[in-house]
Structure 1
Amino acid sequence: MSTATVLARASRAEWGRIWSVRSSWVFTGLISCAVVGLGLLVGIDVANNPESVPVGASAWEGARFTAMFALFGTVAMAVVTSTADHGTGAIVPTLQWTPRRGVLLAARALVIALTVTTLGVVLVVAASVVVRTLAPPRVGLPFGDGLRSMGDIVVVLGCGALLGIGLGLATRSTAAALVLAIALLLVLPLLVAQLPFDWAATTSARLPGSGALFLIFGEGPLDDMTVTSARLTLAAWALGALTAGGWRLLRSDAGH
């Protein structure tokens, strides 16, 4: 059987595994409520304070705040779906069904990353539409701004998903991977940036959370941060985590 055929079969199995458990539907519901709900709050605030909205304002900018909720939600969902069968012991029949571990790794990373990233993007777009619906008429939803905003958000969510998958595969523990993901994306970037040392801001800028914040809000711990540097930082962490997780999947016993 060709590698492409096995990959397609494994991808279908991964898709079915994601949506066959209740936790995936719970995460989807919670993320949807958080992201669209925040968009609703932003829209109501703008509607109640129209004088604070400049002419030519874009609803995409208001909805950017929802991207952080989408990021943490999609990363958490990526972690849970990548570690679920390790926690239950179902990884053993999974490997019996797909004994080529490299193919399983590719299918799992591809399907989970595409699923949670697509979910996050759809919800941020929905939040932007909600903001536009509630905001004054002068607040637009220009297509060009949408492409630029969503381009950055796709990078953030995609890299965040791969980071979560890699941490999940490396630790094989939902709790440990979630703690590491939260630390890297939120706690450490903010904590390190507050230290009174010259190296602190530079170190903070090299963490994935700072890259995500810069792409979403345009601000970071260093004044010379750029879109390119932020994207490279996120990509490097995502690739590093996925490499570590892939190495453990390929090289160590599934039961340990």
Structure 2
Amino acid sequence: MSTTTLLARTGNAEWSRLWSVRSTWIFAVATAVVVLGFGTIIGYDVSDDPTGPGPDASAWDGGRFTAMFALFGVLAMSVVTSTADHGTGGIVPTLQWTPRRGVLLAARACVIVATMAMLGVLLVAAASVVVWAFRPSLGLPIGEGVEGLAELGFVYAAGALLGVGLGLVTRSTAAALVSVIALMLVLPLLLAQLPYEWSVSLSARMPGSGALFLIFGEGPHDDMTTASARLTLGLWAVALLVAGGLRLMRTDADR
């Protein structure tokens, strides 16, 4: 069997596995409720404001405030779906069915990353539409929406890749969730609050700071740019996926 055929077959199996895990549906529904709920709150607030937002504001700006909630849902789902069969022991029959571990790694990463990135983008777009429905005068400029959603798509794809990598490294849902929360939220904020230049610079090099900068345009260090934030987030995601892939291919699956 050719590698392409095997990859396609494994990708289809990974897609089925992804949506056969009950926790995927739970996290997806919970994330949707939170994101759309905050979109509704933001829409109601701007509709009730007589002065209204600034002249350059659009409904996309309101939807962007919900992007961080979508990111944490994406991260959690990526971790859970990448560690699920390690926790249940299902990874053993999975590797018996697909013994070429590189193919399994590629299929799993591609399916989870593509699905989670699309889910995050769709939820933020839906939240923006909700804001616009409350105050149509804000508008939904197509160009601004495409640019903003494309940026968020990169953030969600990199975040999902990071989650998959951590899941494969730790092979534990709890450990991977703690690690991803530390890297994306706790450590960047903690280091940024310390009264030392080195800690602020280190915070700017954490994946969470890169994600926050790309979402909100602000970071812990004045030298941060869109390019540096993308590079930081992308390098962390690739590095953790490589580490997870090496563990998958070089150690017993049930250890």
TM-score range, shorter-chain basis?
A: over 0.9
Distance 2:141 2:213 in 1: 22
Aligned partner of 1:30 in structure 2 is 30
Aligned partner of 1:200 in structure 2 is 199
Give yes or no for contact 1:59–1:132 (8 Å, CA) kept in 2. Answer: yes
Distance 2:70 2:177 in 1: 15
Deviations 1:120-173 (Å, cap 9, x if unpaired)?
Answer: 1110000000000102x4201101111221121111111000000000000000
Aligned partner of 2:161 in structure 1 is 162
Q: How does 1:61-140 map to 2 (within 5 A)?
A: 61-135=61-135, 137-140=136-139
Aligned partner of 1:11 in structure 2 is 11
TM-aligned CA deviation for residue 52 of structure 1: 3.4
Backbone CA RMSD of aligned residues: 0.8
Distance 2:144 2:209 in 1: 22
Q: Secondary structure at the match of 2:254?
A: coil
Structure 2 counterpart of 1:130, one-letter code: V
Structure 1 counterpart of 2:81, one-letter code: T
Q: TM-score, normalised by structure 2?
A: 0.98
Structure 1 unaligned blocks of 5 or more: none
How many residues in Structure 1 have an aligned counterpart in Structure 2?
255
Give yes or no for contact 1:193–1:201 (8 Å, CA) kept in 2. Answer: yes
Give yes or no for contact 1:56–1:138 (8 Å, CA) kept in 2. Answer: no
TM-aligned CA deviation for residue 103 of structure 1: 0.1
Q: Secondary structure at the match of 1:51?
A: coil
Name which of structure 1's ranges 95-104 and 52-61 shifts more when overlaid on structure 2: 52-61
Q: How does 1:175-254 map to 2 (within 5 A)?
A: 175-254=174-253
Q: What is the percent sequence identity of the aligned residues?
A: 64
Q: Secondary structure at the match of 2:65?
A: helix
Distance 1:183 1:50 in 2: 40
Distance 2:7 2:102 in 1: 9
Distance 1:55 1:78 in 2: 38
TM-aligned CA deviation for residue 201 of structure 1: 1.1
TM-aligned CA deviation for residue 56 of structure 1: 3.7
Structure 2 unaligned blocks of 5 or more: none
Structure 2 counterpart of 1:65, one-letter code: F
Give yes or no for contact 1:57–1:138 (8 Å, CA) kept in 2. Answer: no
Q: TM-score, normalised by structure 1?
A: 0.98
TM-aligned CA deviation for residue 107 of structure 1: 0.2
**Structure 1 segments (4+ residues) deviating >4 Å:** none
Give yes or no for contact 2:64–2:215 (8 Å, CA) kept in 1. Answer: yes
Give yes or no for contact 2:21–2:81 (8 Å, CA) kept in 1. Answer: no
Q: How does 1:46-57 map to 2 (within 5 A)?
A: 46-57=46-57
Give yes or no for contact 2:89–2:254 (8 Å, CA) kept in 1. Answer: yes
Deviations 1:38-83 (Å, cap 9, x if unpaired)?
Answer: 1111100101114131224211111111110010001100000000
Distance 1:164 1:102 in 2: 18
Give yes or no for contact 1:56–1:140 (8 Å, CA) kept in 2. Answer: no
Deviations 1:6-41 (Å, cap 9, x if unpaired)?
Answer: 000000000000111211111111011011111111
Structure 2 counterpart of 1:174, one-letter code: T
